[in-house]
């Protein structure tokens, strides 16, 4: 049983040892932290082929899509280049009433302490190791519970971490919901969770019991808005590639498309042609080694139910729609005539279904977005700067890209995260380092 696994590790003892080690790591110099990250980079680099194999074994993720380690290595190099500067106290102005120039006001970024990571199945290495880098750079200790839905990846993550860190610095424990529930009872200083909004609320409630801070990377309904001025061929190619990468299991990919009534048929034709060019008229097929599967049967049934319900209630199947229950396979699928009342437009899809919704005016498209929860990503395809500015200034989202999808995630210079239902907190580069740090003001008079 999973609870027995947890007890076998004596997690309470590990937790207490990490509390003690956190006090020592708080005083660690930049070069000590950099050395740990360099060692992690070396081990990750040495295991690239094994990581690729684990991802394929978990859900047939193709080698062509299994480059999760590249962003991890970039993040290590980026943070190591700036860490010494980030760790220096920031000197700020002191008011005259508090001594002015005769006093010193500074802000110290100190580690939060012991952190819990609950990480997902869709990019198990990337979404565990990339935030871990910032957390380590900030000087914290960490307990990680990777997803039980990708057991081969979770096992390898544990092996990699154990080869680099003693368990009082970083510790990985495998298991399911019972393990996560028991971990959430411990008084962590910070909890980092990536996954769905429903579980995110559970994590936040558990954190409140200990007044722990949280970083929640969630999801939601991320739209791609197609303005009439857009390059339709270019937009279709970028949307199709990013949508069906990883079998649609990407929280920041396009969840649905908004395009004007007057140009909808034209754009749908571009999308259909692009999908069939990339994946074949009948889809990649279950024999294809270059197309991932949905991660398990529960997730497959949920996505298939969204497809079936949409088709039963008037949505038009433009291309795709092939399914195989034994393989958790759904081919890249494009749907037209989708109405807002359908479940596919209310739930995050997180799978290879792409609905198209039309709008009369750009204001209607903006109103449609603003009537829902704030999305993790909002993407604008347009050559009209005024239209682009209007959309971005009139909406709120975790992040946006103009004339592409998802690419902001790849920049270590940009903060990444959601807003409201799509998440709390910011990651990547300095923003991740700061998110895992306490901003401590010091006044010397």
Please compute Rg for the chain using Cα positions.
23
CA 136 to chain centre: 19
Catalytic position from the list 251, 312, 371, 373: 251
- From 169, 182, 217, 348, the catalytic residue: 217
To the query of whether residue 217 is one of the catalytic residues in this protein, the response is yes
Gap between the Cα atoms of 194 and 249, Å rounded:
13
| Cβ atoms 436, 430 nearer than 8 A | no
3-class secondary structure for 393-444?
Answer: HHCCCCEEEECCCCHHHHCCCCCECCCHHHEECCECHHHHHHHCEEEEEEEE
Give the max Cα distance, the chain: 75
Distance CA 34, CA 22 (A): 17
Active site residue 251: yes
Q: Is 28 helix (H, G, I), strand (E, B) or coil?
A: coil
Reading the block at residue 193, the tokens are 């969770």
Alpha-carbon distance values, 274 to 5, 283, 284, 290 (Å): 48, 12, 13, 17
Distance, CA of 398 to chain centre: 11
DSSP 59-105: H---GGG--HHHHHHHHHHHHHHHHHHHHSPEEE---GGGTGGGSEE
User: How far apart are the C-alpha atoms of 432 and 79, rounded to whole Å?
Assistant: 10
Both tokens of residue 361?
């005016």
Do 184 and 116 meet the contact criterion of CB atoms below 8 Å apart? yes
Residues that are catalytic:
217, 251
């Amino acid at each position: 049983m999973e609870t027995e696994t947890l007890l076998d590790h004596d997690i309470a003892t590990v937790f207490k040892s990490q509390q003690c080690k956190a006090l020592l790591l708080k005083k660690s110099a930049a070069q000590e932290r950099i050395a740990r990250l360099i060692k992690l980079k070396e081990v990750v680099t040495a295991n690239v082929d094994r990581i690729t194999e684990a991802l394929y074994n978990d859900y047939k993720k193709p080698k062509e899509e299994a480059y999760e380690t590249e962003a991890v290595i970039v993040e290590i190099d980026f943070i190591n280049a700036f860490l010494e500067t980030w760790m220096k106290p920031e000197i700020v102005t002191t008011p005259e009433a508090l001594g002015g120039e005769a006093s010193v006001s500074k802000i110290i970024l100190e580690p939060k302490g012991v952190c819990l990571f609950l990480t997902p199945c869709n990019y198990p290495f990337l979404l565990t190791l990339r935030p871990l880098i910032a957390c380590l750079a900030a000087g914290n200790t960490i307990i990680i519970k990777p997803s039980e839905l990708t057991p081969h990846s979770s096992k390898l993550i544990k092996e990699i971490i154990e080869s680099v860190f003693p368990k009082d610095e970083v510790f990985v424990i495998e298991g399911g919901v019972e393990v996560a529930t028991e971990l959430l009872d411990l008084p962590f200083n910070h909890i980092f969770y990536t996954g769905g909004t429903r579980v995110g609320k559970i994590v936040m409630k558990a954190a409140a019991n200990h007044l722990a801070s949280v970083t929640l990377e969630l999801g939601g309904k991320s739209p791609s808005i197609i303005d009439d001025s857009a390059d339709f061929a270019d937009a279709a190619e970028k949307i199709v590639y990013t949508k069906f990468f990883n079998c649609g299991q990407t929280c920041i990919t396009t969840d649905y498309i908004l395009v004007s009534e007057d140009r909808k048929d034209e754009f749908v034709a571009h999308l259909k042609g692009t999908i069939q060019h990339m994946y074949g008229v009948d889809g990649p097929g279950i024999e294809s080694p270059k197309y991932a599967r949905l991660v398990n049967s529960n997730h497959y049934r949920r996505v298939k139910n969204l497809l079936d319900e949409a088709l039963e209630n008037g949505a038009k199947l433009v291309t795709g729609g092939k399914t195989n229950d034994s393989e958790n396979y759904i081919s890249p699928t494009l749907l037209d005539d989708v109405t807002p009342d359908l479940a596919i437009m209310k739930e995050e899809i997180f799978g290879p279904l792409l609905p198209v919704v039309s709008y009369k005016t750009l204001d209607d498209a903006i109103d449609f977005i603003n009537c829902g929860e704030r999305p993790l990503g909002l993407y604008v395809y347009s050559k009209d700067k005024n239209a682009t500015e209007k959309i971005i200034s009139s909406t709120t989202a975790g992040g946006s890209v103009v004339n592409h999808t998802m690419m902001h995630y790849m920049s270590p210079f940009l903060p990444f995260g959601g807003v409201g239902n799509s998440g709390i907190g910011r990651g990547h580069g300095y923003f991740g380092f700061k998110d895992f740090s306490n901003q401590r003001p010091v006044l010397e008079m």
